[in-house]
């Protein structure tokens, strides 16, 4: 089932793809079709307010995630990149949970910063292979999720596709197993959560559940236990 009245998409399996934050004319035309123009302005104002609230709420979680990433990575040239993506991921998870949006203003600069920091790490270590793998992993993540969006548009938003590329880069830096686990786990975690809500009657089958938080959680689990997780998921 697809509902486009609010500029987003609902998946019948309860997971809801997250769009980006583009307030473009075409989207607004869909939002305000047949409604007073002031209604569209109120919707934009409500979304902006939700983004501000989510940003404040996610700040503390982002700090904790950054500290955890720094502790886990230890003294390494790649640590700054992992800290950046952990902090941004935590913030995005909170924002998406509240607004069903993954803002470009966070996703895109994070992706660029991670690539630059990993390039510095590669140069400092004198080894270009991890950087090539990381860039390939980011492309794989983006293309894989883009293919899924094309195959089943209600399941993923374009914000999810861009986030997959951003998360895929550092995951592939850690290894191919981490990348595979990071791409697969969100569907298992999100599906299990949605099923639990339905079984406990806290939600219906068509209740929207943001997908971004599960992408971030899946990436975190994959970073810590990539080899083990990939083997379990693939039955190896």
Specify the pTM. Answer: 0.77
The three-class DSSP label of residue 19 is strand
The per-residue pLDDT for 173 is: 96
The per-residue pLDDT for 7 is: 36
The per-residue pLDDT for 170 is: 97
Question: Structural domain boundaries of the chain?
Answer: 15-234
The per-residue pLDDT for 236 is: 53
The per-residue pLDDT for 11 is: 39
The three-class DSSP label of residue 210 is strand
The per-residue pLDDT for 19 is: 66
- On whether the CB atoms of residues 165 and 185 are closer than 8 A, the answer is no
CA torsion, ordered 55, 169, 181, 73, to nearest 10 deg = -80
The per-residue pLDDT for 51 is: 64
- On whether the CB atoms of residues 92 and 68 are closer than 8 A, the answer is no
The per-residue pLDDT for 169 is: 98
Q: Show the low-confidence residues of the chain (pLDDT under 70).
A: 1-57, 203-207, 226-236
b/e code 110-135 from CB counts within 10 Å (16+ = b): bbebbbebbeebbeeeeeeebbebbb
Which residue in this structure is represented by tokens 């690539």?
A: 115
């Amino acid at each position: 089932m697809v509902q486009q009245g609010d500029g987003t998409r609902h998946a019948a399996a309860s997971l809801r793809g997250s769009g980006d934050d583009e307030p473009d004319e075409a989207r607004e035309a869909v939002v305000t079709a047949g409604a007073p123009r002031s209604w569209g302005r109120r919707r934009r104002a409500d979304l902006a307010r939700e983004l501000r609230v989510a940003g404040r709420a996610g700040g503390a979680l982002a700090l904790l995630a950054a500290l955890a990433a720094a502790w886990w990575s230890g003294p390494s040239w790649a640590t700054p990149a992992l800290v950046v993506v952990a902090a941004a991921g935590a913030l995005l998870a909170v924002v998406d949970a509240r607004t069903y949006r993954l803002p470009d203003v966070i996703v895109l600069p994070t992706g660029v910063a991670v690539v630059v920091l990993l390039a510095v790490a590669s140069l400092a270590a004198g080894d270009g292979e991890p950087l090539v793998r990381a860039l390939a992993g980011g492309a794989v993540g983006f293309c894989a999720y883009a293919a899924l969006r094309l195959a089943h548009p209600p399941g993923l938003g374009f914000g999810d596709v861009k986030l997959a590329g951003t998360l895929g880069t550092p995951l592939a830096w850690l290894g191919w197993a981490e990348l595979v686990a990071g791409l697969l786990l969100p569907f298992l975690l999100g599906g299990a959560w949605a099923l639990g809500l339905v079984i406990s009657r806290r939600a219906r089958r068509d209740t929207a559940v943001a997908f971004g938080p599960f992408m971030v959680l899946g990436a975190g689990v994959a970073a810590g236990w990539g080899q083990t997780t990939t083997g379990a998921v693939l039955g190896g």
